[in-house]
Structure 1
Amino acid sequence: MEIKKSDNKRPGIVFSCYHQKSRDGEHFVPEHTLSYQIAGSLILNDGTNEYSPSLGSLRLIRRNQLVKFIKHPPESGDFKSISIYLSQKILKDFCLEYGLSSDGKYSGLPVINLKKTKILENYFSSLIGYQQTNNFEDGQIVELKIKEGLLLLMQSNPEIKNILFDFADPFKIDLEAFMNRNYHFNVHLERFAYLTGRSLATFKRDFEKTFGTTPRRWLQQKRLSEAHYLISKKGEKASHIYLDLGFENLSHFSYAYKKMYGHGPSLL
């Protein structure tokens, strides 16, 4: 259970401090996000791969991704990280000001480890100082610090321009493969539709053609089937798996499980 949470949010930059292991409830990453690990670890999972950072790691999480987060504080200490959210407006303005653009399409992993230089370390140290003195109350300072960070990143990691400066919306992709890979993410149907390059109406229509049922019914059956396998064959406990399978709370999971299998998940 989380005892204390401190998120000092300002436009574009967030300093996080957690005192106990925590799951982040937001699984959709709408904007490119730079994550700098100060203390503890931030484990990410995109449904296929798990990313475990080393202390002081710097990572870029691509926009329009479904990713699960688990935050672990160090022993006898606090989890601490800095996240910089790079909005499309900030990046477009940066491109115009400095004459930059992408020259190719990136098709790699959703989470990228970035090369960290001494000057980048100094930059993130300066952000800690700004946070401690409440300078992130000023939106102009935040904007200038984000721009400074982008300039330093372009020096040390020039290849990421094909990620940051690609402003295209998601294109229509294979629905069956996407849903079988991402069914355990607890996001709205509108989000699934957008990420597969479809309107909500087209998504529902294509879904029924592909799976022969509605998205909501398929998602619940898929999640419960996986839960039944994990509990009956792998000996997992309901309380340990319901969040990972996309259920919002244990009581809803238990009710749906009993309705489908005729008994609660703890009676096997």
Structure 2
Amino acid sequence: MKTTLLMTLMTLLLMLIGDFFGGLRGMTVMLVFGVAMNFFTYWNSDKMVLAHYNAQQVDKRSAPELYGIVEKLAKKAQIPMPKVYIIDSPVPNAFATGRDPEHAAVAVNTALADILTKEELAGVLGHELSHVKHRDILISTVAASMAGAISTIAQWGMFLTGGRDENGESRNPIAAILVMLLAPLAAALIQMAVSRSREYEADKSGGELCGDPNALADALLKIEAFAKRRVMPGATEATAHMFIINPFSGVDMKQLFSTHPATAERVKLLREQARAMGK
């Protein structure tokens, strides 16, 4: 239901952009495009995200420790073993993707294993596998693909139509600029609506899976410390909500417009969970 609602809202947003730049014809084109893209992203959005970050698949032989942790946690979570990928990046982070637990993948940056202990890495992977188990990954991956398309179309709509509507009359340039700015913002707000609450739930479930919520809390603090100093190379705002920590944490923005809840609040809840577990 969440995925259907998300796809519907994104499609309506595309239609509104089409109506502004091309009237009824533009709206019709965007409706057809939106339906086609919904179908395409449902089956291929995970491949698109992994390809964008040039993620390389690994196995038990090429990455025994990483693969072993994922295998152990997947068994404990009672979900199929997901594919495991590594992204060559100097900034630590991780995300999960796929349309369901049977077609899931977990991707971690190479820097992650360098800065985290084995227990902290298990905490991060437990968080990501929780997204897989609770089927959050389809929502987040589709949102990433659709938000990217909306932002691109909104930014190029003025140029593609020559600044004129379907009757050949000139568009108000100020209104066109507003559409170019507000459409991506609207897409981002839709992403946030399905993102923040999922992080709290995945933290809690991830803490239970790894057996030590404190390890996950420590990992979040370490990852955020790096994200505040440097934006992850190649990161896009459309996919920011997929990562365990927003890769744009260092960018000056109000918490209202963040795709993730405050890390301090997440850590606080994890510490409370650890105390309740006797850790």
Interval of TM-score (by shorter of Structure 1 and Structure 2): under 0.3
What TM-score do the two structures reach when normalised by structure 1?
0.26
If the length of structure 2 is used for normalisation, what is the TM-score? 0.25
Q: Which structure carries more strand by proportion? A: 1
Question: Which has a greater percent of helix?
Answer: 2
